[in-house]
Structure formats: structure tokens, C-alpha cells
Amino acid sequence: MTAPRRCVNPVGTHGQGGNGALRIVPRGPMRKSPATTSFDETAMTAPRFFALIPAAGAGARMGLDGPKQYAQLGGRAVIDRTLDAFRACPAITATFVVLSPDDRAFEWASEEVVPLYCGGATRRDSVLAGLEAMGEQVRPDDWVLVHDAARPGVTVELIERLIAECRDDAVGGLLALPVADTLKRAEDAVAADHARGTVTVERSGLWAAQTPQMFRSELLLRALRASDQVTDEAGAVEALGLRPKLVRGSPRNFKLTYRDDLALAAALFGAH
């Protein structure tokens, strides 16, 4: 198991108090004067919604010179476009972005977007390190929406749909789509360019997971600490014997994984 790195939020970065501790400034109707960092009574009792975006990966499968989250998409970085929906969603109190400790490219910190320089070797390590760094700023019953940095097609509508469907759920859930394509199992999982099919996989009941994936902070921490071989948060929660809710997502919310995906995203945003 790879131990999560201790998170660092550098002095001078928005979202940090003068003593170096993380500071969350509420948005929308919960915001008070700039001099205060406390929430009103309603905010202190009602669970809040935080976004957590792991963005410490190298994106090797895309074959670019740098991390794919910084690839240009119509003159803007992919991660900047991904942040758009969370910055615009009134329900999101703050968005935390988990970065590599060596990252020097992130430039979108604000009162509502807080960088955490503690990304790990895997997605699970980065998300766990981010949750631990958020610490007491996020209560056990607050909701955390974990989203891929390389899914710039997410919208406010999708985020609000997920929140509406899961906010009263005992477990939480994730955006997903029923699998429509016929699925083939390859004889060699490594030879992606020259594989041969061995069997057709029954697709009935199969869904393709998307993000955000939304769970309460305490549950997500417990699940990730117990599982170090999962590829997403829902998998960690399922390993506890729980069943996350599947909420219909959208084809536009696809993940940029290969170089050709950038061309699809450019068409989506009208950025050629």
C-alpha cells in the first residue's frame, strides 16, 4: 500500500488562513463578510457538498508531453474547463484539487478552489490524502463529490441531478450510463492494438461508471482506508458491502484518456 503524502497548501494561496491551516470561505447565500470564516446556523447543521478533484496523474496513455489535465482545449487547460461546472454550481461549498507535490502549473486557486499538493501514486492515494488534508473543515456527514480532472464535459445540471438523487440516500451514488455497446473480452489484456476477442460479455445490467461519485466524508474515508486496490470510490464503498446508487449521467461527460479524445472534446466545446 502506498502511504498518502502529507498535504501542503502553500502560504499565499487563496483558501488558507494566516496560520497555514486550510480555510473554507462559504459561497452564495451562506457567505458572510470577508473577515469571518464561520458558517451560519443552517450551514452548521445541514450537510454541505464539497468537490474533490484528483489531478496528480501523468496521463501516460494520452502520450502528451505533460499531464493531460493541462492539455489545451480551445485555448484553456482541460482542468480549468472541468472546474467551470463546480465554480458555477450554487450547491458546492468549495472545490479541493489534489495535485502532485511537484506541480507548478496549477493557476486557478481562489476562495472556492483550494489546491492541495499531496497527490499520490494512484487515484485512491490522492483522494484519500485529499480527504485527510481537508480534515476538520469537512464534517463526517458532509458530502464529497469526487470528480475526474479529465472530464471537462460535466455540467451544473449533472452535478445537481446527482445531488438531488443522492442527498437523502443512506449510501450515496455516482453518475453512470447503461452500457450500450457489445462488449468483447480480449485474449491478451495488454496488447490493446492487436488483441483478439475470445468471448462476448453479456451487457445486461452493466453500467459504465462516470464521475462525480458522491459519498459522505466519513464513509469515503473509511472505505478508502480499507481498500488500496480500487479504481474508483464506488468500488471502495462496494467493498464494504454497500450498494451505491446509479444515477444516469451523460455521454458528454466522457473521460479524456487517449489522444483522439481531445479532438472529441474540442468538437463538444466548439473549440477547433
Asked if the model's pLDDT at residue 232 lies above 60, the reply is: yes
pLDDT grade for 29, boundaries at 50, 70 and 90: very low
Is residue 202 within 8 A of residue 112, CB to CB? The reply is: no
Decide if 230 contacts 222 (C-beta within 8 A). no
C-alpha cell read off for 48: 454541505
Q: Cell 455540467 appears where?
A: 155
- 11 vs 69: which has the higher pLDDT: 69
**Mean local confidence (pLDDT), 169-181:** 97
Calculate the average pLDDT of the chain. Answer: 85
192, 116 Cβ separation under 8 angstroms: no
The grid cell for 148 is 475526474
In the numeric block, which cell numbers belong to residue 39? 458558517
What is the H or E stretch that residue 216 is in?
strand 207-216
Gap between the Cα atoms of 192 and 253, Å rounded = 23
Cα–Cα distance, 258 to 60 (Å, whole number):
9
Segment among 65-79, 86-100, 172-186, 190-204 with least mean pLDDT: 190-204
> What percent of the chain is modeled with pLDDT above 90?
67
Query: What is the value of pTM for the model shown?
Result: 0.85
Q: What is the pLDDT of residues 45-73, one digit of tens each?
A: 899 999 999 999 876 666 677 889 999 99
Comparing 25-39, 101-115, 117-131, 232-246, the range with the smallest average pLDDT is 25-39
Q: If you compute the radius of gyration of the chain from its CA atoms, what whole number of angstroms results?
A: 19
**pLDDT at position 38:** 41
Calpha distance 200→138 (Å, rounded): 45
Reported confidence tier of residue 28, pLDDT bands at 50, 70, 90: very low
Amino acid 53: pLDDT: 98
Return all residues near 177 (Cβ < 8 A) that are at least 6 apart.
Answer: 207, 208, 210, 248, 249, 250, 251
